Structure 1
């Protein structure tokens, strides 16, 4: 005869084990934060990775990021194969503006405007369905930062349009239902979790390694407008820093001090919790002049250097400055709508700085 105590004890052990193996429940060393209310001041979505963002008043948020965020990506065709394209190496990507619109068929499209470095005669536009039918699309495998995924080649008409703008052959790919696994060393499913996943009663509750789209390392990138003001102060009164150069998804206003977000561990937005596991470290893309599509001149072309003076605060990447925090949906998170003006409350802060540990990027 089964004893109720055994069930209770077994459940208790399972809860403890699940806590130990969950990368989103456990953290280094945190403490409750004094209630600090912030506001969402801006929301950005990047349908095509590394092109200019779409600024929205509201967006559907999921555990994979905002709906339509970084679900397309461009690659350059070379004699040695395809190369992933990003602003840091392809500053001309700044010459493509994007916007989201409903179509007559009832499905959203992304409109792309090529501003052609200010040459109005070469400027042109196109549009792409945000959720294309993949039945007839050719499969394509791509690797981003050591995290591979399957994807789909978009029809030739779209590839030809982008190729004509760039002046060399490019390929547009669509992620579709596929996802990439995160490779953070402290977020990969442990051996203990793998063992628990084999137990029928526990398998559904065992946390899996989080998955993402074509975003670099996390579903969300959160930045503080107070820290943005600090960056602007380094450039001079006539050159405010463009927040979109930091490629954020969520901009929060109301922080008392610049850089306090370095220690944020958890945020609450309504019933949703954002878990902040790592810093976002920066590269030469900050120095690109978005108007010209070339490296900036003057102070705007020295943003990275100016931040390197005192923002190399992550021991995992000692040469790269930090701006912003990578964030993941908490364990209980489901889909919701986030809006500009929504309250965001810092509920936990880290006592020590987190350490960037993505293999190959550290």
Structure 2
């Protein structure tokens, strides 16, 4: 049995996380996870004065690690809540600018109608965001030392590309959907409707036979036959429509997360990485950008083969299942020094290289080490509250490794979840 040891939300992509003790599970990630992101304003090279926006990720902008986040959750229906950003400048910068306000409050749920829309593309998956405005852009720009834009996702989402999403990994035909629904013990009540529809079809055919038997002229019977069979076909189409639309597979969507709504890592595996560092140094688990850290795994990296986790939250909160569909391949973000906002030096700045030695275990990303698993929530777990210390069980385990390249052949710049 495993235990949820730490839970993290990243309200602004690539900034430091908010540690939570309880989080609401949604199919698009923990509530408020990666609903904001930063983009660097890039002037045109031709000097025309036009600008473009470049997505900011911590491996390319390590100074993002200097910004900490905290969430004040809404307490009333009309309360939008607060996202609190605190800037922790490196020691040398603190001496230069000691009096600047390094705390910013942002509405956790801004009204998109008051904001300017932005077209944002992440890893070839486009969406619409909103510019939060000069007040917030200027605050961030002053601390980064170059112009940036703070974007809010609002009600929008992004397509999960590749085959990482469960629905894409195991796409079902209409007939298979019908068969599984009819044999699913959790859907007994749903069997009544298709039975009634089929019974109606049979009744139509029997009535047609009765009409002929009761002496209707052959010419009239022949004229009624197409109508009878058309009605039967319509009933059959209703059966197909019912199962394939009412019970169509859930389409997984994501926020500003790179690849999936959740990232799960094992505390045992983090300990393995810490053991590769000099005595007295420990690996900062938040550099792996997890949402869920579980403890109790018997061996390091056994999560490579986990296919599903069943979460025992207690009868009063319901149950949920996380489907682990792919590996998280890693990049230079593991080497960022969170105190200086620069790439690390020494042993702690060489974590990626250390993992290269034995963690290049995914044939689809053979030049990148693997750490952690991408996860998707089964739709029926929507709204379930997950708490630290909840028990979790590995309910599916595979014998073969999943292949990252099959999911994300298009993702060449960075497979890491930032």
Q: TM-score, normalised by structure 2?
A: 0.74
* 1:358 corresponding residue in structure 2: 408
Helix, strand or coil: the match of 2:386?
strand
Please say which of residues 106-115 and 125-134 is displaced more in the overlay. Answer: 106-115
CA shift for structure 1 position 60: 0.9
Structure 1 Cα separation of the partners of residues 246 and 403 of structure 2? 30
Could you tell me whether the CA contact under 8 Å between 1:189 and 1:207 is conserved in 2?
no
Equivalent-residue separation in structure 1 for 2:115 and 2:164 (angstroms): 36
Contact 2:163 2:169 in 1 (8 A): no
SS at match of 1:135: helix
What is the rounded CA distance, in whole Å, between the counterparts of 1:191 and 1:353 in structure 2?
Answer: 16
Deviation at 1:332, TM superposition (A): 2.7
Answer yes or no: is 1:52 the counterpart of 2:16: yes
Provide the residue aligned with 1:155 in structure 2: 133
Pairwise CA distance, 1:53: 0.4
Determine the structure 1 residue equivalent to 2:336.
288
Out of 72, 94, 102, the residue aligned to residue 101 of structure 1 is 72
Task: Give the alignment of 1:246-261 within 5 angstroms.
Answer: 246-261=288-303
Q: State how 1:28-177 maps to structure 2 within 5 Å.
A: 37-80=1-44, 81-102=52-73, 106-118=79-91, 119-120=93-94, 121=98, 122=100, 124-177=102-155
1:241 aligned to 2:283? yes
Q: Give the aligned partner of residue 159 of structure 2.
A: 181
Task: Please state if 1:317 is matched with 2:295.
Answer: no
Judge which range, 123-132 or 43-52, deviates more.
Answer: 123-132
SS at match of 1:111: strand
How many residues end up aligned between the 2 structures? Answer: 326
1:230 aligned onto 2:272: yes
Q: Which piece of structure 1 moves more, 346-355 or 104-113? A: 104-113
Contact 2:266 2:295 in 1 (8 A): yes
Aligned-partner SS, 1:251? strand
CA contact (8 A) 2:80 2:110 kept: no
CA distance in 2, matches of 1:95, 1:337: 30
Q: How far off its partner does 1:359 sit? A: 3.0
Between 224-233 and 118-127, report the one with greater CA deviation: 118-127
Is the alpha carbon distance of 1:103 and 1:127 closer, same or farther for their aligned partners in structure 2, counting shifts above 3 Å?
A: farther
Query: What is the 5 A alignment of 1:268-279?
Result: 268-270=310-312, 271-279=319-327
Shift of the 113–282 alpha-carbon distance from structure 1 to 2, 3 Å rule, reads same
Q: Give me the TM-score of the superposition, normalised by structure 1.
A: 0.86
- Deviating more after overlay: 40-49 vs 108-117: 108-117
- Name the Cα RMSD after superposition: 2.1
Q: Residues 103 and 249 from structure 1, CA distance in 2 versus in 1: closer, same or farther, beyond 3 angstroms?
A: closer
From the two aligned structures, give the one with the greater helix fraction.
Answer: 2
Is the CA contact 2:27–2:379 (under 8 Å) kept in the aligned structure 1?
no
CA shift, 1:190, in A, is: 8.8
Are residues 229 and 191 of structure 1, via their aligned partners in 2, closer, same or farther at CA, if it must alter by over 3 Å? Answer: closer
Counterpart Cα distance in 2 of 1:69 and 1:186: 19
Paired residue for 1:22? Answer: none
**Among candidates 236, 246, 256, match of residue 214 of structure 1:** 256
Hey, what does 2:211 align to over in structure 1? none
Q: Which runs of 4+ in 1 moved over 6 A?
A: 194-198
Matched, 1:200 2:221: no
Q: Secondary structure at the match of 1:160?
A: helix
Q: Unaligned 5+ residue runs, structure 2?
A: 45-51, 178-236, 313-318, 413-418
Q: Find the counterpart in structure 1 of residue 193 from structure 2.
A: none
CA shift, 1:189, in A, is: 4.8
User: 1:184–1:231: structure 2 CA closer, same or farther, 3 Å change rule?
Assistant: same
Aligned to 2:397: 349
Question: Cα distance, 1:123 vs. partner?
Answer: 5.8
Higher strand share: 1
Q: How far, CA to CA, are the matches of 1:190 and 1:324 in structure 2? A: 19
* Corresponding residue SS for 2:276: helix
